[in-house]
Amino acid sequence: MSTLSRRRGRLSPYLLILPGGLWLLLFFAVPIFQLGVTSLYDPSGSLEQGYAMTWAFGNYADALSQYWPHFVRSLVYAGIATVLCLLLGYPLAYAIAQKSGRWKNLMLVCVIAPFFTSFLVRTLAWKTILSDNGALVGFLRDVHLLDASGRLLATPIAVVLGLTYNFLPFMVLPLYANLDRLDGRLLEAANDLYASPARAFAKVTLPLSMPGLVAGTLLTFIPAAGDYINAELLGTPNEYMIGNVIDSAFLVRLDYPQAAALSFILMAAILAIVFVYIKRAGTDEVV
């Protein structure tokens, strides 16, 4: 082998990384650095007059003290939605992977089909479903689960339901990918070794599906915590999440330093939660 081709062989991993790396550098690393810089600008500046770099760490304290309820609300809503997605998604993924037989592909298409229409349009559809004059509210009032003036729209329930609906596929798909690989012979072995179906699930299926479960919960929780569409369309300002605050800080109030500081706090909070979660779940291979 010539020196040249050997050198090319050694370089090839770097050449493969190059396009994606450049893309990330330009559209992820540079903007996030810019965002970090912006978060430390003097908050008294404006878009017209420009901002002065004053290392204003106070921006963070201000953002937190002013908007901590929105942070808490975001994490709580996203957390509840994630749990609901798990409760709905695990049995669904299990059924598709293990029990669907020849319907498997059709069922997978059904899970993915919502992606063919826009996120926004689907959330607007939920506005109709949950509306005060809709069939659902009418039924719940008839069976007295809601009182006569009770409503679903513009409540925390509506926002959590919207989040659950929108992020369910992100839970189902990784779980499906994992459960599809589950070796049925292991369950037979567990049955043979005195484990009832319920025990076999707890001792074999569930532990083996942990990587899929962790991936699914992360893919659901992380975007749900930063979401603002559901709160905006299905809730009121009382249900606004931190995404709505950042949205308005950037686009309405034009307070760039604060918007950037809020974004960084959200990112740090999610990273911390994910880190602790993965440590506890003991599935390092996911990250």
Partner 1 sequence: MGDLRLVNLTKQFGIFTAVDDLSLTVPQGSFFALLGASGCGKTTTLRMVAGLEEPTTGQVLLDGQDISRLRPYKRPVNTVFQSYALFPHLDIFENVAFGLRRRGVRDVAGRVARMLSLVQLDGYGKRRPAQLSGGQQQRVALARALINEPQVLLLDEPLGALDLKLRRQMQIELKRIQTEVGLTFVHVTHDQEEAMTMADTVAVMNAGRIEQLGAPAELYEYPASPFVANFLGQSNLLAGDVAGKAGDDVEVTAYGSRFSLPAGRCRADAGSVYLGVRPEKLRLAALVDEVPAGHQYVTGVVTDSSYVGVSTQYLVRTAWGTELSVFAPNSGVTEQIPLGADVAAYWHPRHAFLLRREPGAGDATQPLLEPVP
Under rule CB under 8 A, residue 194 binds partner 1? yes
Q: Identify whether the C-beta of residue 230 lies closer than 8 Å to the C-beta of residue 221.
A: no
Give the nearer residue to partner 1 in terms of CB position, either 55 or 194. Answer: 194
Give the nearer residue to partner 1 in terms of CB position, either 116 or 194. Answer: 194
Under rule CB under 8 A, residue 191 binds partner 1? yes
Under rule CB under 8 A, residue 278 binds partner 1? no
Whole-angstrom distance, CA of residue 41 vs CA of residue 57: 9
Give min distance, CB of 173 to partner 1, in A.
22
Determine the interface stretch with partner 1 among 120-128, 129-137, 190-198, 247-255 (rule: CB under 8 A): 190-198
Give min distance, CB of 108 to partner 1, in A.
25
Q: Could you tell me how many residues of this chain bind partner 1 (CB under 8 A)?
A: 17
Give min distance, CB of 218 to partner 1, in A.
20
Give min distance, CB of 96 to partner 1, in A.
22
Burial class (CB in 10 A: 0-12, 13-18, 19+), 268: exposed
Backbone angles phi, psi at 54, to 5 degrees: -125, 15
DSSP E strands, the chain = none
Give the nearer residue to partner 1 in terms of CB position, either 154 or 210. Answer: 210
Whole-angstrom distance, CA of residue 231 vs CA of residue 219: 19
Under rule CB under 8 A, residue 101 binds partner 1? no
Identify the sign of the CA torsion 200, 203, 207, 213: positive
Contacts of 114 by beta carbon, 8 Å cutoff, 6+ apart: 122, 169
Under rule CB under 8 A, residue 147 binds partner 1? no
Answer for which of 26, 109, 189, 287 binds partner 1 (CB under 8 A) is: 189
Whole-angstrom distance, CA of residue 158 vs CA of residue 132: 12
Can you give the binding site for partner 1, defined by CB under 8 A? Answer: 183, 185-186, 188-196, 199, 203-204, 207-208
